[in-house]
């Protein structure tokens, strides 16, 4: 089969690799009909090479048609249409029983002290082959796959793999009061869906903060008050002027380590990229490598007693944090990988609603063949061609 594979910094390719097979009775094989390129995939493209091997298959936002199931997989069958959560979770351990599927004790990667295994996401998270491929082996398929109805196009459902539950959790963790205010940093797919979900759940003022004109325009279309960082000299003052001098009740950081600015973090990322893997890994595991400008801005913008929700991925173990400011402002901070299946009962009725209340059918700006994957990564990384969300379609339009 064809698959999109990692070969080095800014070097992803389409390779021919062996078709996946059932390895355990809890496995399933799906024919991938759509697979998203996620902002966190850019961390693999740019930063996290020390935890990848040449030929690793990328992608953690797939859906498709069931081809085969293992003996212990009974809730889906050949021919079913399914979405695959990016967390690989068992559904029966202590953590899964507490709706913390991203911390699944069955699939935790203890070698690195990490939570649940993730599809297509480095040795840190299990080094399981990802879904930017023609076919995918799905581990823990007795629990993970989400069966969806026939009929509506993939756009309605594919974002349940990651984008929608990540944004839903970000909004829930932000604890926005009814009619309250929230600042959303980063209007990529997660940020845009956070805007839409926050409005849907009753937020009042939603500020959408970004640098890219088309993303700001899309955020405004979805109900945000756009804030162009290229045009605002003092962000905190700008937001406070519109929130009775206090700042927002809540903040969602949907950017993470890819933030502009923070030259020390950028330097550390760059240096680590030139080191042999054995030397680079400790830089990520024990050093401050993140570009923390957005996190610091989030703390500034939040009102005293406010809540900050982190959905953007950070990677450094020793990044400097403004603890005095955080303590003095008495902020609450919540974060973590999305617990996908925790939120599906809330999301599924919305994506099957003919009115499309979350606007999922308008999220993808590009639908491309799998062969176009390497070019799509480059375009996405450079934020060119108006690219906000790309769906790869390995078997043609779905």
Residues comprising the chain, all counted: 398
Whether residue 191 contacts residue 210, with contact meaning beta carbons closer than 8 Å, is answered with yes
Q: Which residues share a beta bridge with 207?
A: 183, 225
Closest to 119 (Cα-Cα) out of 130, 109, 110, 111: 130
Extract the tokens encoding 83.
């979405």
| DSSP assignment of 45-109 | HHT-GGG--TTPBP-S-EEEEEEEE-TT--S--TT-EEE--SB---SSSHHHHTT-GGG-TTT--
CA 380/CA 184 separation, integer angstroms: 20
Extract the tokens encoding 170.
């970000």
pLDDT at 320: 62
Closest to 62 (Cα-Cα) out of 119, 123, 5, 103: 119
pLDDT at 268: 41
Across the chain, the runs of DSSP E, i.e. the strands, are 2-8, 11-16, 28-37, 62-69, 81-83, 135-138, 146-147, 182-185, 206-210, 225-228, 248-253, 302-310, 332-335, 366-368, 390-392
- Which residues, given as ranges, of the chain have pLDDT below 50? 259-275, 279-280, 283-290, 315-318
pLDDT at 50: 77
Quick: pLDDT tens for 99-112. Answer: 999 999 999 999 98
Q: How far is CA 7 from CA 22, 61, 130, 349, in A?
A: 26, 20, 15, 40
Sign of CA dihedral 133, 135, 139, 142: positive
Domains defined for the chain, CATH in brackets: 2-162+339-392 (3.90.180.10), 164-335 (3.40.50.720)
Q: Which residues share a beta bridge with 165?
A: none
CA 91/CA 100 separation, integer angstroms: 10
pLDDT at 296: 84
Q: Has this prediction a pTM greater than 0.75?
A: yes
């Amino acid at each position: 089969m064809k698959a999109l594979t990692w070969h080095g910094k800014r070097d992803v390719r389409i390779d021919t690799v062996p078709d996946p097979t059932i390895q355990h009775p809890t496995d399933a094989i799906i024919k991938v009909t759509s697979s998203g390129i996620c902002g966190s995939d850019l961390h693999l493209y740019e930063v996290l090479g020390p935890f990848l091997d040449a030929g690793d298959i990328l992608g953690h936002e797939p859906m498709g048609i069931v081809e085969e199931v293992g003996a212990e997989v009974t809730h889906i069958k050949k021919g079913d249409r399914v979405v695959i959560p990016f967390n690989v979770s068992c559904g029966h351990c202590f953590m899964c029983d507490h709706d913390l599927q991203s911390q699944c004790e069955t699939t935790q990667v203890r070698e690195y002290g990490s939570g649940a295994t993730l599809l297509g996401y480095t040795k840190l998270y299990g080094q399981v082959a990802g879904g930017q491929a023609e076919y995918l082996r799905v581990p823990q398929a007795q629990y993970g796959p989400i069966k969806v109805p026939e009929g509506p196009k993939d756009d309605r459902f594919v974002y349940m793999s990651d984008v929608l539950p990540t944004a839903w959790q970000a909004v829930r963790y932000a604890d926005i009061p009814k009619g309250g205010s929230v600042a959303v940093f980063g209007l990529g797919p997660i940020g845009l869906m956070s805007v839409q979900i926050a409005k849907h759940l009753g937020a009042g003022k939603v500020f959408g903060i970004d640098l890219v004109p088309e993303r700001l325009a899309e955020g405004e279309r979805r109900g945000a008050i756009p804030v162009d960082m290229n045009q605002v000299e003092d962000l905190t003052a700008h937001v406070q002027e519109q929130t009775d001098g206090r700042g927002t009740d809540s903040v969602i950081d949907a950017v993470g380590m890819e933030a502009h600015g923070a030259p020390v973090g950028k330097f550390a990322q760059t240096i680590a990229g030139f080191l042999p893997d054995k030397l680079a890994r400790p830089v990520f595991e024990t050093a401050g490598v993140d570009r923390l400008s957005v996190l610091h801005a989030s703390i500034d913008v939040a009102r005293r007693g406010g809540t900050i929700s982190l959905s953007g991925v950070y990677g450094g173990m020793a990044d400097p944090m403004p603890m005095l400011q955080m303590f003095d402002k008495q902020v609450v901070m919540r974060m973590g990988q999305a617990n996908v299946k925790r939120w599906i009962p809330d999301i599924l009725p919305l994506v099957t609603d003919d009115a499309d209340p979350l606007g999922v059918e308008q999220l993808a700006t590009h639908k491309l063949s799998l062969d176009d994957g390497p070019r799509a990564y480059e375009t996405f990384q450079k934020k060119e061609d108006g690219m906000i969300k790309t769906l790869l379609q390995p078997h043609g339009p779905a």
